[in-house]
Amino acid sequence: MKCTIPLAPLLLSSAVSAASLSSLPVELETRSELDSRLANVHITRRGEVQGAVTYTYGACTSLDKRDAHHTISRAARPRKGVDSRLVWVAPEDVSSGGCISAWDSTDKLVGRSSPQHFTSDLKRRKRSGPSSIEMNREDGFDTWGPWFDGVALLEAKALADVDVAAAKSKTVGIAGAGMSGLMTWLVLHQSGFTNLTILEAGQRLGGRVRTEYLTGGPFDYSYQEMGPMRFPKEITIKNQTYNITDHQLVFQLAAELNELNNHAANWSVDFIPWIQSTPNGLSYKNGFKLPDTGMPPTLAQIKANSSLGGPPMIIDAATQTLQEKIDAITSDEDLMIAVATNMHKAHSEFLAAGLGGKGGDSWSEFGYMVNYLNATLNSTAIVGGDSSSFWGTIYDNVYFSASAWRTIDGGLSRLPAAFHPLVDGVTRMGNWVDGFSFDSCKQKVSLSLKNKKAEEFDYAIIAMPFSQVRKWRLPQWLPSTITSAIKNLPMGGACKVALEYRTRFWEHLENPIIGGCSTTTDIPGVGSVCYPSGNINGTGPATILASYASGDWATRWLSFSEEEHVQYMVDAMAEIHGDVASREYTGKYNRKCWFLDPLASGSWAEPEIGQHQLYLPEYFKTYNNIIFVGEQTSYTHAWIASALESGVRGAVQLLLELGLVDEAKAAVTKWMARWIEV
């Protein structure tokens, strides 16, 4: 039978009056809302206390420790003048109205808090707005995640008292200055940590966020994004517009950096509209061009006259039926709304129920189409079947169906660059982490550095792609579950080629092309062609993303020399746009194949079937003072928001490891970390 705590009376008994409470030698209080079962109890010692102290929760009038509902902690005598806290993990049957009490070694009452009031639903952190998430089974969340459960972590640790100053002075080494590493640093720094070090192998901030400036700087506007390019902001479905909520973290970070940098122009991060599609994008297929203009037809012209698009692809009835079934699943409007408004809940429900009730992440596209939809092998091969999960298709469908997009004026590299005034004093460039070890006697992590002496820290945050970490000789004590994730999580690839032109000739065609990635072609290996969204109708040189190839072509292009690859794209742009492209080409280019980058060895994580279910729980564990972050530990891979949310989670994970519950709650609230329960 569960016991309940009687509500505290309006007037305390004479034995424990308000006056007598103030004279007790130990002051107890909580300073954050009791909206979960997890809290810090702040302890201030004002007088002498005999021996170790027991802290309990129970009736506010009790003078007997045995009357308590539960024991919070047994700890050494609090030190005078030291900011000390308890970690309080309340049991599930806790009730409001009780008080926290302190009892000395003789069971004498030496401290008592004011009455404590929990919110009505301890399984939910109260949030405003439609994106709040109730973290319980009834709302589609299974016990293993896909969020980080701080309550469960601290239940298992059973921390006693916390010396806050000592905790915040712990040395923390962050391996990697990409977006996840920078975000981890920011959350910990703003939580009061004083000994943070970022170790970066290269000579720049940002990792796979990489803007290449072919002429001048950011506001000469001759640049292209060789990494991420844009942020989907809103989606309109059924005549209603929804925020794509998981990307709001990017906009929030930019606003925060602008504030921290006092809106200095050199470091400002300002968003402008990104043009994803345009009706004047060209469709160059089968070498066909309009006889009167000598140009390929635009998408608008094809829409008005379908014959300009050339003969349609002949698809047999079985394949057409299969395609319609798959589109109905991955582009279901209700599912897209769920993903846009509450990615975390939608993902969990997808894993639990999935497609056709068969479980989402347990079916490959190929297996689902052949074994469940009874499709032919021919139809499955045409529609597309491999070892990937449908989940990536689903969230990309939402993102790429966005009705409003944003990019950063002057290039996305301005986002990590805005960290320079904040982190330059704690960042060491040219320090390539290539392994780690743990000294169980000293309780220290050692990060080994290529061609340099290893460095020792109390904790380490590994913010590097698993494609890099898998090159290390991982220690034997690391559990096979996480080593499997590191070694077996596939990385996707991309090759991009940017070409600079003297003028924005595409904006002055008979049918001007204003931004967008709408030009398509069947020239092999080109992929997407994107025109700049910034400085429309400006003067001076500008740069086209002449090729964005992923998948199979990301690997094929590796066998070409840079000169061959670039010349192929120069010729392709001239074939599509005509002689003007040849005349205007400046000879400046940039080619980036991410599989060739020694610091990345790939573009993004691409989990295969079952890997989310298998690996996500492992990423949320701490291994001998080592925490892993990065977009590979998220579940919407390849986007900046994925890296940022992993950084928030990694920082909160460390805060909780050290018992800093108040700071963890503040970080979760500030950064809208709706997938973390504290």
Report the CATH number that the domain containing residue 75 is assigned in CATH. 2.60.40.2840
pLDDT tens, 506-518? Answer: 999 999 999 999 9
Do 485 and 516 have their domain in common? no
Do 179 and 270 have their domain in common? no
Instruction: Give how far the C-alpha of residue 563 lies from the chain's centroid of Cα atoms, to the nearest Å.
Output: 36
Instruction: Look at residues 422, 468, 471, 424 and name the one whose alpha carbon lies nearest to residue 203.
Output: 424
Do 216 and 177 have their domain in common? no
Bridge-based pairing of strands 452-457 and 516-521 is unpaired
- The answer to whether 659 and 85 are in contact (CB under 8 A) is yes
Instruction: Give how far the C-alpha of residue 380 lies from the chain's centroid of Cα atoms, to the nearest Å.
Output: 32
Structural domain range at position 472: 148-205+431-491+627-677
Cα separation, 625 vs 674, whole angstroms: 25
- On the question of pLDDT at 137 being above 60, the answer is no
> Would you state the pLDDT for residue 125?
40
Total number of domains constituting the chain: 4
Cα separation, 275 vs 434, whole angstroms: 40
- On the question of pLDDT at 17 being above 60, the answer is no
Bridge-based pairing of strands 494-501 and 491-492 is unpaired
Q: Which secondary structure element, helix H or strand E, spans residue 610, and what is its range?
A: none
Report residue 678's pLDDT band, with 50, 70 and 90 as the boundaries. confident
Bridge-based pairing of strands 494-501 and 585-593 is antiparallel
Report residue 77's pLDDT band, with 50, 70 and 90 as the boundaries. confident
> Would you state the pLDDT for residue 138?
37
Count Cα neighbours of 497 within 13 Å in the Cβ-side half-sphere.
Answer: 29
Q: What is the per-residue DSSP string for 197-251?
A: EEEESSSSSBTT--EEEEESSGGGTEEEESS---EEEEEEETTEEEE-GGGHHHH
> Would you state the pLDDT for residue 673?
66
Bridge-based pairing of strands 404-408 and 271-273 is antiparallel
Range with the poorest average pLDDT among 196-210, 426-440, 528-542, 612-626: 612-626
Which has more pLDDT, 10 or 594?
594
- The answer to whether 623 and 590 are in contact (CB under 8 A) is no
User: Which residue type occupies 486?
Assistant: I
> Would you state the pLDDT for residue 363?
62
* 467 lies in some domain: yes
Stretch 153-182: mean pLDDT: 90
Pick from 86, 121, 156: which residue ends a domain?
121
Cα separation, 392 vs 614, whole angstroms: 16
Residue with tokens 């970022």: 198
* 2 lies in some domain: no
Do 467 and 386 have their domain in common? no
Which CATH number do you get for residue 478?
A: 3.50.50.60
Query: In this structure, which long-range contacts are made by residues 597-600, counting pairs with CB atoms below 8 Å and at least 24 apart in sequence?
Result: 599/201, 599/202, 599/207, 599/468, 600/207, 600/208, 600/465, 600/467, 600/468
